[in-house]
Amino acid sequence: MALVTRFAPSPTGPLHLGHAYAAIIAHDMARSAGGRFLLRIEDIDQSRSRAEWEEAIFDDLSWLGLTWETPVWRQSQRLPAYHAALDRLIARGLCYPCRCRRADIRAALTAPQEGGPDGPCYPGTCRHRPMHEAGPDDAIRLNMARALSEIGTSLTFHETGPLHSGAHTLSEEWLLTTCGDVVLSRRDMGTAYHLAVVVDDAAQGVSCVTRGEDLFAATAIHRLLQALLELPVPTWHHHRLIRDAAGKRLAKRDDARALSRYRAEGASPKDLRHMLDL
């Protein structure tokens, strides 16, 4: 089976060195295996996504010498597929509507938490609410305990990245106490990151999910959703993060590291690869 990888940026700011690294890793991995490389625009957050950032993504990646398949999928055009997946989980009694705001959740927590891949572990305030009560002001959450008992067997996934290489078994306890009832559909979006990414990776036949190690912890949620939705299971490759001189991870607002800045200063794509040890 051909290797299929993807780079899945959100068009909410300029691409920086870290994005270039992620895109090149996914691209080169597919090319060297004679596989396919996809670009997916993750624009479900329409309040932050901008057409001009999307244009800038295409422009920067072309400049880097990367090529990808067209048409490019945009998550904003995939809402019916996310709704269908959510409806399947709802029909199995695994979801509930939640009206809590961030401040309510913080106030209901007994102790301050670092939080897991979906933020602080939701204390369960709305867990008793039936789905027929769901209104436009509600998010939809996954009842994690129910989802785990529905699966009933321990799930595993395979990682090929440098930091966590090998087979991993999902820890039920960690999913219950650190992730908790993750959001599957946000109030204004009709979906949420974890659901959209799992549905799209399966629909596009992605066989190896490459992304930064900051998303490693989210993989357990994705593996669980794949099991619940009976989707094919890819392998994962979480790569190192590119950091600034102070060791801080680069952020979108870090304009100093924007690719466009390096381009304007006359760097070549080769220089960029060199800087990234690629």
The residues that touch ligand GLU, with contacts defined as CB under 6 A, are 8-10, 42, 197, 211, 215
- Least CB distance to ligand GLU at residue 102 (A): 20
Sheet holding 235-239, edge to edge: 166-169, 156-159, 235-239, 208-212
Distance CA 79, CA 262 (A): 36
Asked whether 67 and 61 are in contact (CB, 8 A), the reply is no
- Least CB distance to ligand GLU at residue 93 (A): 28
Distance CA 169, CA 156 (A): 4
- Least CB distance to ligand GLU at residue 206 (A): 10
Q: Rank residues 141 and 222 by Cβ distance to ligand GLU and give the closer one.
A: 222
Alpha-carbon distances, residue 28 vs 22, 25, 57, 97, 165 (angstroms)? 10, 5, 18, 42, 19
- Identified catalytic residue from 202, 252, 257, 258: 252
Q: Rank residues 43 and 138 by Cβ distance to ligand GLU and give the closer one.
A: 43
If we measure between CA atoms, which residue out of 71, 5, 67, 66 comes closest to residue 35?
A: 5
Give Cα 32 to chain centroid, integer Å: 24
Catalytic site includes residue 252:
yes
- Least CB distance to ligand GLU at residue 268 (A): 25
- For residue 11, what are its two tokens? 């068009």
Asked whether 49 and 12 are in contact (CB, 8 A), the reply is yes
- Least CB distance to ligand GLU at residue 5 (A): 10
CB atoms within 10 A of CB 51: 9
Give Cα 173 to chain centroid, integer Å: 22
Q: Rank residues 53 and 96 by Cβ distance to ligand GLU and give the closer one.
A: 53
Q: Rank residues 145 and 217 by Cβ distance to ligand GLU and give the closer one.
A: 217
- For residue 92, what are its two tokens? 């199995």
Q: Rank residues 6 and 141 by Cβ distance to ligand GLU and give the closer one.
A: 6
CB proximity list for 127: less than 8 A, separation 6 or greater? 96, 141, 143, 181
Q: Rank residues 78 and 211 by Cβ distance to ligand GLU and give the closer one.
A: 211
- Cross-strand pairs, 141: 96, 183
* Residue whose pair of structure tokens reads 């305990």 in the numeric block: 145
- Least CB distance to ligand GLU at residue 110 (A): 31
Distance CA 7, CA 47 (A): 22
Catalytic residues: 252
